[in-house]
Amino acid sequence: MAQFSRTWWGQRFIAALERFTDSARLGRGRSYARNGRILDYKLAKGTVTAKVRGSINPYFDVYEEPIYKTTITIKPISATDWTKVIRQIASRADLITKLLMNEMPDPIEDVFSELNLHLLPHSQSDFTTKCSCPDYANPCKHIAGVYYLLASDLDRDPFVMFELRGLSRDDLHAELVRSPLGQILASSLTSDPDIPVEPVESFYTHPTKKPAAGVTNLKEFWVGAKKLPAPLATASQTSVPALLIKKQGDYPPFWHKDASFISVMEELYERVRTKNRQMK
């Protein structure tokens, strides 16, 4: 069974239709699209055309399956407004990069909203639709079915929406590449890849034989021809006696003698350090 509006732009397209189209008609149109009743579906020059197989209905004297012709056109954006949109897009590297890579950036609608425009349909006035069926309502179930095929097209290629609004993919790319930022990004995207290296039989190195250096005796073999430099003298470790005691002050509250508490502790630390050296 066919699925429609799998992407966020396809979903927004269907959501726009649901705002101003009867849900029952959309349901019948979705059934038409899924059951293969839409024939000769084409999109050219911003207009969708299709032939839809109708239903036999003796009540309305319809005894043979009719074929209805439908057309859907979305209101194009003027050339002046497209210039404004391109200028806005050309100022953002994230949008240009995605569009040049044939991807639809998520915040693309924000650019149009800032200019009080819409890329995706916003109201029923954005559509001009016709069907040769006798149904007086518009959109009828045949047009609704074509809507769903259009949503499926948008899922596969979001740039269909640009074409419906009056700007083809090639024209969009050309306009973006003309901008200063677009030139820089386009050159980086289309630059030639690194030249591949010549193919090799193995990625591992192979050991090679080399003649051994001449050795005069075993002592030179083990010790070497040159003497190693003498080890550097280890610098004596400097320390400050009773450093932690000094941080507490010379006469703490518990010290009741006249002699300096720090001096007494320095002498004690020195005795302990001297005793430790004697024990080594």
**What confidence score (pLDDT) does residue 213 get?**
66
pLDDT category, 250, cuts 50, 70, 90? confident
**What confidence score (pLDDT) does residue 49 get?**
94
Q: Which range is least confidently modeled, 32-41, 214-223, 251-260? A: 214-223
Q: Kindly tell me if the per-residue pLDDT of 275 is higher than 80.
A: no
Q: Kindly tell me if the per-residue pLDDT of 172 is higher than 80.
A: yes
What integer best gives the mean pLDDT of the chain?
Answer: 81
Q: Is the pTM of this model over 0.85?
A: no
Calculate ∠ Cα 153-39-104, nearest 5°.
5
pLDDT category, 278, cuts 50, 70, 90? low
CB-based contacts of 37: which residues, under 8 Å, 6+ apart?
52, 53, 145
Between 80 and 61, name the one with better pLDDT.
Answer: 80
pLDDT category, 1, cuts 50, 70, 90? very low
Tens of pLDDT along 180-216?
Answer: 888 888 777 665 555 555 666 766 777 888 776 665 6
Tens of pLDDT along 73-126?
Answer: 999 999 999 999 999 998 888 888 888 888 888 888 899 999 999 888 888 888
Tens of pLDDT along 119-171?
Answer: 888 888 888 999 998 888 888 889 999 998 888 888 888 888 899 999 988 99
As a whole number of angstroms, the distance between CA 280 and CA 153 comes to 88
**What confidence score (pLDDT) does residue 80 get?**
94
As a whole number of angstroms, the distance between CA 38 and CA 52 comes to 4
- Here the tokens at position 83 are 């210039």
**What confidence score (pLDDT) does residue 233 get?**
64
DSSP codes joined into one string, 228-275? PPPPPPPPPPP--TTHHHHHT-SS-TT--SSS-HHHHHHHHHHHHHHH
**What confidence score (pLDDT) does residue 212 get?**
67
